[in-house]
Amino acid sequence: MSDEHCDLQSFLPTNDFDCHRIIDVAEMFLQESLQEISYSRIADIARQITSAKIVLINLYEPSGLDYWTVAMVGVEDEGATVRELLGFEVVGSRWSYDPAKADRIAERIVTRFDTLHELTARRIPVDRVLNLESRLELGPVWVAAIRKDERMLGDLVIIGKAGAALQNEPLLQLYVRLVGLFFTRRATELALQKSHERYLLAVNGNRDGIWDWDIVTGDLFLSARWKEMLGYRDHEIPNVIESFRDHLHPEDRPRVMKYVDGYLKGEIRNYQTEFRMRCKDGAYIWVLARGEALYDESGRPYCMAGSHTDITEKKEFDRRLEELASTDVLTGLWNRRHFFTAGATELARCRRYKSPFSMLMMDLDHFKRINDEFGHAAGDEVLRAMAALLKRNLRDVDVPARIGGEEFAVLLPSTGLEGALVAAERVRRSVEAVRVSFDGRELGFTVSIGVAGCCAETRDLDALMKAADAALYRAKEAGRNCCRTEINDR
């Protein structure tokens, strides 16, 4: 209010008229909601200022060429007569660019036309306008240009009574300048409103969770969908940064907050990361976060906004794909591919930290005889039983795998040869004691195990496997159902 008010006082004319009246009008425009001030009200104030019979408001297209009539006051009781004489409804009519009119009103704020038919000659049949002028006793016409920064926004068409003069022209000039300010403000407000409506439409229609963080105040806008993803209603989570931080998985929280800090410092170019978030029921979902920050002139971030996408199903799908690619379908153990990948990683760790590392190679004794005597279905049950025994007798860090028909192998991280031999013997005894029920019969089987240990000097994984194979061969030579070792010192 204050800036516009001061500006109005600076160009108030000194003619003899009521300055307080125009200040009251200014305050109405600048203090009231712009949405509540109608075009008809603007036209009626102009009519009161000028004592005119009729006032119309035309609004121009942004191009400044075509325009349309948005309001007309002063003919409320004669509206039907105007429509009948002219043959159309004035309000809502669209008009094409008239160069003659444009040239006449270009140089002045208020331009006088002797008659209405002089102004409308190129757009409305003259006989119709003459009939209107006669019936309503209309006199001269004044066009007051509504401009802002030399751009035509619209005009007021002021139609006087026959023989009347324009009243309070200085006040009218000030008024149209005020209307120009109003039109500009209304256009800005409407643009902001539409922008906000589009933003809300995008937020509410998006299946992603939308967030907007005011870094300065700490306020965090979280869309209803963002909260819904975690199982909450809109009012159940406050819009503060702690709502995000506190719902991060404890294992992910340090990494994520460090990532955010790195992005805001410019150390990370694009903000895109994945993490887990806790739901209302205590479960966790996987989230893909994308965002972008805004920085002030000094390079400090003041705002950051983005989206969260629930990628839990994708993560589970990827996990299943990885599982299928690295797991033996029959037994659920790791397959040969994963075994070699994990073995290479563990060997590298062994070399780097000079930690012990051992391997078991196993072969089910006389497995062909089980298949031949009881069928392959029985053999499959034996293989599954063997896998279950391995899982039961090994640590979580160990890597048991089925690498062939009846061949199994185990990686034993941080385990020396002596510890590996103890683990192997534990597995062997468990296998010897178990019985597999199949088709009403109890099947027993045994396993031969070769044990090899490596040290930091071990050349490669193949060398370790050859040593374990050699130890397995020794176990078979010793009568099977036993464990043997082969130290790999090459």
pLDDT tens per residue, range 354-398 = 889 999 999 999 999 999 999 999 999 999 999 999 999 999 999
pTM: 0.47
Of 12-21, 153-162, 363-372, 421-430, the poorest mean pLDDT is in: 12-21
Cβ atoms of 105 and 155 closer than 8 Å: yes
Nearest Cα to Cα of residue 476 among 360, 401, 364, 358: 364
Helix crossing, 169-205 with 2-10: angle to 10°? 160
The C-alpha angle 6, 10, 12, rounded to 5 degrees, equals: 115
Cβ atoms of 29 and 1 closer than 8 Å: no
Mean of the pLDDT values across residues 116-137? 90
Residues 6+ apart with CB under 8 A from 309: 208, 209, 287, 288, 289, 290
Percent of the chain whose predicted confidence (pLDDT) is above 90: 53
Which tokens hold the place of 257? 């907050």
SS3 content of the chain, % helix, strand, coil (to 5): 45, 25, 30
Residues 6+ apart with CB under 8 A from 245: 253, 257
Model pLDDT for residues 395-453, shown as the tens digit of each residue: 999 999 999 999 999 999 999 999 999 999 999 999 999 999 998 899 999 999 999 99
> Which residue intervals of 283-398 are DSSP H helices?
312-326, 336-353, 367-374, 376-393
CA distance 151 to 68: 16
CATH 3.40.190.10 fits 2-193, yes or no: no
Nearest Cα to Cα of residue 293 among 256, 259, 254, 266: 266
Domain ranges of the chain: 2-193, 207-316, 327-485
Decide the pairing of beta strands 220-222 and 441-443: unpaired
CA distance 282 to 296: 39
Model pLDDT for residues 202-244, shown as the tens digit of each residue: 555 567 888 999 998 888 888 888 999 999 998 899 888 899 9
CA dist 109 → 96, 154, 176 (Å) = 21, 12, 8
Residue 19: pLDDT band (50, 70, 90) is low
For the chain, how many residues are written?
490
Residue type at 354 in one-letter notation = K
Cβ atoms of 402 and 330 closer than 8 Å: yes
Mean of the pLDDT values across residues 141-158? 87
Instruction: Name the fold adopted by 207-316.
Output: Beta-Lactamase (3.30.450)
CATH 3.30.70.270 fits 327-485, yes or no: yes
Model pLDDT for residues 275-331, shown as the tens digit of each residue: 999 999 999 999 999 999 999 888 899 999 988 999 999 999 988 888 888 999 999
Cβ atoms of 367 and 405 closer than 8 Å: yes
Q: What are phi and psi of 428, to 5 degrees?
A: -60, -45
Q: HSE of 415 in the Cβ direction (CA atoms, 13 Å)?
A: 22
CA dihedral 65, 68, 72, 76 (to 10 degrees): 150
